[in-house]
């Protein structure tokens, strides 16, 4: 089982920000911005490449709802997902980082 599946199962504690039957948003323990949450499907989906389009449409609505709850929907935020090894994916469970709460800069990637 992966770490995100353990969080979903309640085996690892998390600070939940938003949740429904299909998705979970919780605070990242290694924040890179004043607001930094991880948004995951409750179903184990390894990466964006395996995400069914219909489920992604539902997740998009959940992400927007989460941004509204966090108060960054209007001012702006960044969504980041890493895909596979060269994309920097460390946990093989689809997840989006939603970061905001400040004017974000764009770092060099390599």
Question: pLDDT tens digit string along 66-86?
Answer: 999 999 999 999 999 999 999
Domain span holding position 42: 3-100
User: Residue 108 falls within a domain, yes or no?
Assistant: no
User: Residue 75 falls within a domain, yes or no?
Assistant: yes
Residue 48 gets which letter from DSSP?
G
User: Residue 49 falls within a domain, yes or no?
Assistant: yes
User: Residue 25 falls within a domain, yes or no?
Assistant: yes
Residue 10 gets which letter from DSSP?
T
95 noted as active-site residue: yes
Residue 82 exposed, middle or buried by CB count within 10 Å (0-12, 13-18, 19+): middle
pLDDT of residue 1: 74
User: Residue 110 falls within a domain, yes or no?
Assistant: no
Of the candidates 36, 44, 93, 95, the residue annotated as catalytic is: 95
User: Residue 88 falls within a domain, yes or no?
Assistant: yes
Write the CATH number for 19: 3.30.428.10
What confidence tier does 58 reach under pLDDT thresholds 50, 70, 90? Answer: very high
User: Residue 109 falls within a domain, yes or no?
Assistant: no
Count how many domains the chain has.
Answer: 1
């Amino acid at each position: 089982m992966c770490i995100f599946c353990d969080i979903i199962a309640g085996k690892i504690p998390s600070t939940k920000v938003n949740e429904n039957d299909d998705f979970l948003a919780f605070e990242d323990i290694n924040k890179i911005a004043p607001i930094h949450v991880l948004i995951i499907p409750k179903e184990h989906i390894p990466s964006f490449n395996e995400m069914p389009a219909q489920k992604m449409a539902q997740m998009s609505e959940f992400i927007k709802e989460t941004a509204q709850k966090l108060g960054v929907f209007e001012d702006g935020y960044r969504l980041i997902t890493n895909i596979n090894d060269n994309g920097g994916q460390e946990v093989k469970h689809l997840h989006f980082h939603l970061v905001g709460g400040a004017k974000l800069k764009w770092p060099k990637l390599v």
